[in-house]
A and B are shown apart, each in its own frame.
Chain A
Amino acid sequence: MAKKLMKGCEAIAEAAIQAGCRFFFGYPITPQNDIPEYMSRRMPQVGGCFLQAESELAAINMVYGAGGAGARAMTSSSSPGISLKQEGISTCAAAEVPCVIVNMMRGGPGLGNIQASQGDYFQACKGGGHGDYRCVVYAPSSIQETCDLMPRAFDTADKYRTPVIILADGLIGQMMEPVELKMNPNPTMPEKPWACQGWDPKGDRPRAVINSLYIETEILDDLMTRLNARYDEIRKNEIMVEKYKTEGAEFVLCAYGTVARVCKAAVRILEEKGVKCGLVRPITLWPFPSKDVHDVIAQESVQGALTVEISNGQMVEDIRLAVNGEKPVEFMGKGGSIIPTAEEIADRVMEIMRRA
């Protein structure tokens, strides 16, 4: 399809449909309302189902049902609404139900505000709901990348039978950018012999059960062993990271989402000032690209690193774990949805380098 001017939310919704998503359940919250709005119009056109649930929890439970029946199902919300979904996400993880959850992050905690934020990194990457589980987390930095990641998100969810989170800041949802969507009128779906699609007592197929309650300790342990083995596979196969001008850099910026774009502009400003600065941008936040981050920052040429986030510092903890004290890692960021400009980031880097 030729390029169109699309708002992030619209583009994500269309990309999900092109990836074969035919069930969307949601509940309104700004700044992601344009996703359910778009889905409500488009789903009937492709023979899919759009349903506005009575609550966020109901919506994720509907996703559990549709995903458990083998369909490609999705829900979307923004930070406070994602908090309400956590019980259902934990249930999907335990029941091995593949699904995609879009979080268009806004300011928090509590109701926060309706501006863009990155305050839900911990929630997405470190649990969110109760129990010993993980979600694959993608953090796109442009509308085009979000669209390109949608089919991957559904494939990953199906391949590993896991919930997948698209963790986008509110800017991604509300900005408009030229985007090229890959149209796929007949997306092929993987076989799902485990799905609850009706049981024939005379057939060969065993009864399919979708369940998250495992009373016997050994049986729950079997599940956890299986999940952990799968998480190891995900860590091995699914890491995505972008390295921008990191080869032989004197300084390294670390950021994800839209902030990484601002950091790229800062890298160019610094270049003009004669500072060789690079950027490492995790695209998967879980699995976290620890080795890539380490290898970039621990280079001999690097003096130090600065992590920039629209939060009071969350991903910076994983960056520091990856670097393991080999180089100093500083943090720049604010709560309240305040996004630094490229000039401010470049100034901070200059200040840190002067101090060193």
Chain B
Amino acid sequence: MLSDNSEEGGTAVKTYWILLGSFGSGKSELALNLALEKVREGPCTLVDLDVINPYFRTSERGDVLEPAGVELIMPPFALEKIEIMALSAKVYTVFAPGEGNVIFDIGGDDVGSIALGQYKPRFDQIPKDHIQVLFIVNPLRPTAADLESALSTLYKIQYVSRLDITGIVNNANLAGETDVSHLMEGYELVKALSRETGIPVWGTCGTPEVLRSFEEYAKAHDLDPAYIGKYQPIEIMMHRSWDKFLKEGL
């Protein structure tokens, strides 16, 4: 319990970022980028809580995270290239009082969000201004292409994770082929989602170049900043060049 920890002297509360969304929406990419950004401000822990996919996990990028000072908590066997979707007991340590940021990268869809349910008593004790539950949207994925399917996923994830989503993220992308038109598509979708649910738009993600073009476009076309939120630059770390290959395996 948190009260036990407070007897040990700590009272500071960390800031928690929980990244949710459909499968393939880009949660891991945002998690890595957020972690590398937040670690510049102070201690930062990234929790790989993906119980869905044995491939393309944030854990695989320990080579980037650990030298930068990000603590990585991953399921046992996560890098063993086998499928034992066990959660690390170490996850509980992130709820101890302290400074800094904790980022949770969750598996896709409502089935992935199941992993969060058991931590509800812990999340309940975190002050509301210290927790951001972000719903990541990529309309270029066929499973999240329209308002109806995005809404359905959002409600299902909210129900299963037992957390209230606090922000929507426009992460429209077509991997290396992303351009401004895709972010525009994302803008329309997050705007509709936000209006329907009353949940604010937290931000818009993209590689620096695409994001810059989108910013210019948004200004020229008077897009509502409320549905753009923060411009969050992304450096691609998960998506690989299949044409040159890699050392990490699948």
Interface residues of A (CB under 8 A from B): 3-7, 10, 14, 30-31, 113-116, 142, 170-171, 174-178, 258, 261-262, 264-265, 337, 339-343
Residues of A within 8 A of B177 (CB): 3, 178
Of the 9-residue stretches B35-43, B219-227, B239-247, which lies at the interface with chain A? B239-247
Task: Name which of B24, B55, B140, B240 has the most chain A CB atoms within 10 A of its CB.
Answer: B55
Partner of B138, one of A5, A14, A113: A5
Contact status B82-A114, CB under 8 Å: yes
Contact status A5-B174, CB under 8 Å: yes
Interface residues of B (CB under 8 A from A): 23-24, 54-56, 81-83, 138, 140-142, 145, 173-177, 239-240, 242-247, 249-250
Given contacts A115-B81, A176-B175, contact A4 B145 (CB under 8 A): yes
Contact status A4-B142, CB under 8 Å: yes
Residues of A within 8 A of B240 (CB): 175
A116, B81: Cα distance in complex, Å: 11
B interface, over-half SS: loop
Contact status B239-A176, CB under 8 Å: yes
Contact status A115-B249, CB under 8 Å: yes
Distance to closest chain B CB from A113 (angstroms): 6
Distance to closest chain A CB from B207 (angstroms): 15
Contact status B250-A178, CB under 8 Å: no
Residues of B within 8 A of A115 (CB): 81, 249-250
Residues of B within 8 A of A6 (CB): 141-142
Total CB contacts across the A-B interface at under 8 A: 81
Residues of B within 8 A of A170 (CB): 250
Distance to closest chain B CB from A222 (angstroms): 47
A150, B134: Cα distance in complex, Å: 37
Residues of A within 8 A of B174 (CB): 3-5, 178
Question: Can you name 28 A-B residue pairings with CB atoms under 8 Å?
Answer: A3-B177, A4-B141, A4-B142, A5-B24, A5-B173, A6-B141, A7-B23, A10-B142, A30-B54, A31-B55, A31-B250, A114-B54, A170-B250, A171-B242, A174-B55, A174-B250, A177-B175, A178-B175, A178-B176, A262-B244, A264-B243, A265-B245, A337-B249, A341-B245, A341-B246, A342-B244, A342-B245, A343-B244
Contact status B24-A262, CB under 8 Å: no
A113, B83: Cα distance in complex, Å: 10
Distance to closest chain B CB from A282 (angstroms): 19
Distance to closest chain A CB from B237 (angstroms): 14
A114, B55: Cα distance in complex, Å: 10
Residues of B within 8 A of A10 (CB): 142
Q: Determine the residue in chain A with the shortest Cβ distance to B143.
A: A10
Q: Determine the residue in chain B with the shortest Cβ distance to A343.
A: B244
Partner of A30, one of B83, B173, B176, B239: B83
A337, B82: Cα distance in complex, Å: 13
Q: Determine the residue in chain A with the shortest Cβ distance to B145.
A: A4
A30, B177: Cα distance in complex, Å: 28
Task: Name which of B82, B83, B249 has the most chain A CB atoms within 10 A of its CB.
Answer: B249
Q: Determine the residue in chain A with the shortest Cβ distance to B140.
A: A5
Q: Determine the residue in chain B with the shortest Cβ distance to A169.
A: B250
Partner of A114, one of B81, B142, B173, B243: B81
Distance to closest chain B CB from A55 (angstroms): 19
Residues of B within 8 A of A3 (CB): 140, 174, 177
Q: Determine the residue in chain B with the shortest Cβ distance to A6.
A: B142
Given contacts A5-B141, A114-B83, A174-B56, contact A342 B246 (CB under 8 A): no
Residues of A within 8 A of B141 (CB): 4-6
Residues of A within 8 A of B175 (CB): 5, 176-178
Distance to closest chain B CB from A142 (angstroms): 8
Q: Determine the residue in chain B with the shortest Cβ distance to A170.
A: B250
Contact status A14-B142, CB under 8 Å: yes
Distance to closest chain A CB from B152 (angstroms): 12
Contact status A116-B24, CB under 8 Å: no
A115, B80: Cα distance in complex, Å: 11
Given contacts A5-B138, A7-B24, A178-B174, contact A258 B81 (CB under 8 A): no
